[in-house]
Structure 1
Amino acid sequence: MDRLAILSLATLLTFLNVDNALAVNASAGTFAVSQRCEAFQSFKNKTNPGNLAVEPGQTYPIAEVNREQFQWVRVKVGSGKNNLRWVSADCGEVDGLVMSEAGAQACRVPDKYDSYVLAVTWQPGFCEHDRGGPAKPECKAMKSGALTVNHFTLHGLWPNKQACGIDYGQCNGAELNLSADTVDYIKPWMPNFHYGTQFGNYEWKKHGVCQTAMTDDAYFRFAVDLLKSFNDSQAGEYIRSNVGGEVSREQVYSKLADEFGSKDARNNFLLICSGDYLEEIRVSLPKDFKGERTLKGVIGQAFLPRQATDRSECRAERIRIEASGAGA
């Protein structure tokens, strides 16, 4: 089996076993049930052999939670060997929860990532329509007309560990100490750097320190290069040529398919919207960059077996592309 097939199989198995992949062991804690709820063998697939349920007034020791910021708890329901079941945390009250040391720290260990996510922002859409946008100094400058941004910008490059879901990050590592040349290289593509390095420092401490293959200078320069390659791609040019108007979601994916030579390329891209307005595009990347510095080179043919989902993903066929300072 070739390397790509192994990668695809491993990714698929992660999706299929997502309940256990995200589990974090608990060394203490109880779950007091306040309403009747189903007890699932797999909460993702909603499987419930035997139609088991928990009832109000029952209290169970917690074996696992689905991640540190949990939505599901795993408890023993009945005496059968397959009766360790997942119950929604909304169905009761958790008390005294303590994560096992291994479980609590597993998502904060550097170099345990199995992939990356590149997040690129459509800055005008973010500034005008995201709840946190207007307070940003670059957004204030765009609204006043002091700054114009008409290209994609860098949100971040995130080492990713499938077993941790969205919780892999905040590893121990060196402080951010960028050279002046690197700051100048970043500024046009991460406009918060015009006003300081607070956001860059946040991204480095949360994500960058979880990889040690690159220094902070190399990490940010590489992220900018990947961003620029998307900005100049067929899909990026299509979006930028329709500022102040609309694009077709399917046309964006079609242009990605043309660029990468496969319709499966869409599986590595997720469009994020605020309402009908484009805010961000997230790109799934393999762990090994192979010495490449463009998205096409890094991804190659390593396409995911299916597209990720997000509650903020763009669902409408027509997506609006905000212009810089449009809310002024």
Structure 2
Amino acid sequence: MYVNKLMIGFCFIAVTLNAQAAKVEGTFTAIKSCPIYQSFTKGHNPGDIHTVPGRIYEIVEENKPDGPWALVLVPEIGDSRRWVAKECGVTKISSHPEDNSVTQSCNTPNTYDSNVLALSWQAGFCEHFKYSGIKPECDDLNTGHISVTNLTIHGLWPNKSGCEPDKYGKCSNVPLELNEDTIIKIAPWMPNWFYSTDFGNHEWSKHGTCQKLNDDDYFILMQRLAEKFDSSRIGEYMRDNMGKYVSVDEMESFLATEMGKDVTRKIELRCTGSEKQYLNEFWINLPSEIDESGTLADLVHGAKDKERFGGNCAEKIYIEIPGPK
């Protein structure tokens, strides 16, 4: 009987502790090196893992509402969910998904808390999607009438915690009315503008209407960001390896060495093809407030880390070369 009572007591304690845990969305910026635990109550820290000062971790849970411990994601280790003491850094909670009293609006302008910059490798994008006869820039690229060897703009997408991925958008009916000078500047970086306004209208309607800039400033910002990344080691790597298969791990290691892990942790590759072996895009996490004045590390500072640099890509990927095959 005593054993049964003891077991019931343990179960009650376990249920009580689980009930106290609160799911949240937010970030934890480490300001010092601290142990991160599988179990902070037992002090269990396999691998003796510590936080890296300056690194930003995604928070998925608190030990209790506004409690002193945060459950963060550490993607590079096997047991990626670890507890860290909040006193070791700066905690920013953006939402409490389980709080039904909080209404999450996914089409209210200028309420975003982060951005994703999507840059395309035009040869991979055009060659391995079924765009023949649909996108004139792809037809001309594949036949050799034009050549594009710079990274191009897919879009700059404001995001909002609490909204499903790619569901924050279409925040107003403000029409797109770009100045001619703007179109001239962005067309080399968004080649559809040489032929049509369709893609630009789509990006503005779905994403641009949710941020605070007017349409000209929004598209010029995208152009400057695309140019900044294209002139970096990312753009150089793509041009140096056109027509080659490369290892995703080796690519990540090379770019991390050249640009710093603070940058590569914010980047995710996207690939197409039946085996996901053709590289077509980079998705880059950026903070809500974009500061272009410094380095790429400064630009991405404050953004969440991506779960995996390789994204949906295979271990080895092919970098397409533009022109007829």
TM-score range, shorter chain: 0.5 to 0.7
Alpha-carbon separation, structure 2, partners of 1:177 and 1:159? 20
Query: Is the Cα contact below 8 Å between 1:153 and 1:190 reproduced in 2?
Result: yes
| Structure 2 residue matching 1:283: 3-state secondary structure | strand
Specify the code of the residue in structure 1 equivalent to 2:282.
I
Change in Cα spacing, 1:305 to 1:186, as seen in structure 2 (3 Å) is closer
| Structure 1 residue matching 2:145: 3-state secondary structure | coil
Alpha-carbon separation, structure 1, partners of 2:249 and 2:157? 26
Q: Does 1:281 align with 2:279?
A: no
Per the alignment, residue 110 of structure 1 pairs with 109
Alignment of 1:20-39 (within 5 A): none
Residues 223-278 of structure 1: CA deviation (Å, up to 9, x unaligned): 111111111111221111111112231233223323443x3432210001112111
Alpha-carbon separation, structure 1, partners of 2:28 and 2:58? 14
Shift of 1:313: 1.6
| Structure 2 residue matching 1:271: 3-state secondary structure | strand
Residues 305-325 of structure 1: CA deviation (Å, up to 9, x unaligned): 552589x72131x21111112
One of 58, 83, 102 as aligned partner of 1:12: 58
Per the alignment, residue 323 of structure 2 pairs with 325
Gapped runs of 5+ residues in structure 1?
18-44, 46-66, 68-73, 75-99
Alignment of 1:240-251 (within 5 A): 240-251=239-250
Specify the code of the residue in structure 2 equivalent to 1:180.
E
Q: CA RMSD in A?
A: 3.1
Per the alignment, residue 270 of structure 1 pairs with 268
Change in Cα spacing, 1:228 to 1:309, as seen in structure 2 (3 Å) is closer
Per the alignment, residue 210 of structure 1 pairs with 210
Change in Cα spacing, 1:151 to 1:279, as seen in structure 2 (3 Å) is same
Alpha-carbon separation, structure 2, partners of 1:313 and 1:184? 34
Per the alignment, residue 313 of structure 2 pairs with 314
| Structure 2 residue matching 1:202: 3-state secondary structure | helix
Query: Is the Cα contact below 8 Å between 1:235 and 1:253 reproduced in 2?
Result: no
Alpha-carbon separation, structure 2, partners of 1:142 and 1:11? 40
Change in Cα spacing, 1:154 to 1:291, as seen in structure 2 (3 Å) is closer
Query: Is the Cα contact below 8 Å between 1:235 and 1:255 reproduced in 2?
Result: no
Alpha-carbon separation, structure 1, partners of 2:286 and 2:107? 20
Change in Cα spacing, 1:112 to 1:298, as seen in structure 2 (3 Å) is same
Shift of 1:297: 3.4
Shift of 1:144: 2.2
Shift of 1:4: 4.5
TM-score after normalising by structure 1: 0.64
Shift of 1:296: 3.7
Per the alignment, residue 157 of structure 2 pairs with 158
Q: Percent of aligned positions with the same letter in both sequences?
A: 39
Query: Is the Cα contact below 8 Å between 1:145 and 1:325 reproduced in 2?
Result: yes
| Structure 1 residue matching 2:265: 3-state secondary structure | helix
Alpha-carbon separation, structure 2, partners of 1:251 and 1:134? 36
Per the alignment, residue 178 of structure 1 pairs with 178
| Structure 2 residue matching 1:236: 3-state secondary structure | helix
Shift of 1:135: 2.4
| Structure 2 residue matching 1:162: 3-state secondary structure | coil
| Structure 1 residue matching 2:106: 3-state secondary structure | helix
Specify the code of the residue in structure 2 equivalent to 1:200.
G
Specify the code of the residue in structure 1 equivalent to 2:245.
E
TM-score after normalising by structure 2: 0.65
Alpha-carbon separation, structure 1, partners of 2:151 and 2:222? 12
Shift of 1:288: 1.7
Gapped runs of 5+ residues in structure 2?
1-26, 32-53, 63-78, 80-96
Alpha-carbon separation, structure 1, partners of 2:133 and 2:161? 32
Alpha-carbon separation, structure 2, partners of 1:195 and 1:294? 34
Alpha-carbon separation, structure 1, partners of 2:226 and 2:292? 16
Query: Is the Cα contact below 8 Å between 1:107 and 1:168 reproduced in 2?
Result: yes
Alpha-carbon separation, structure 2, partners of 1:170 and 1:249? 34
Query: Is the Cα contact below 8 Å between 2:153 and 2:222 reproduced in 1?
Result: yes
Change in Cα spacing, 1:242 to 1:290, as seen in structure 2 (3 Å) is closer
Query: Is the Cα contact below 8 Å between 1:170 and 1:209 reproduced in 2?
Result: yes
Alpha-carbon separation, structure 2, partners of 1:237 and 1:10? 27
Change in Cα spacing, 1:296 to 1:222, as seen in structure 2 (3 Å) is farther
Per the alignment, residue 255 of structure 1 pairs with 254
Residues 56-97 of structure 1: CA deviation (Å, up to 9, x unaligned): xxxxxxxxxxx9xxxxxx9xxxxxxxxxxxxxxxxxxxxxxx
Shift of 1:159: 0.4
Alpha-carbon separation, structure 1, partners of 2:295 and 2:56? 24
| Structure 1 residue matching 2:162: 3-state secondary structure | helix
Shift of 1:115: 0.4
Give aligned pairs, total. 238
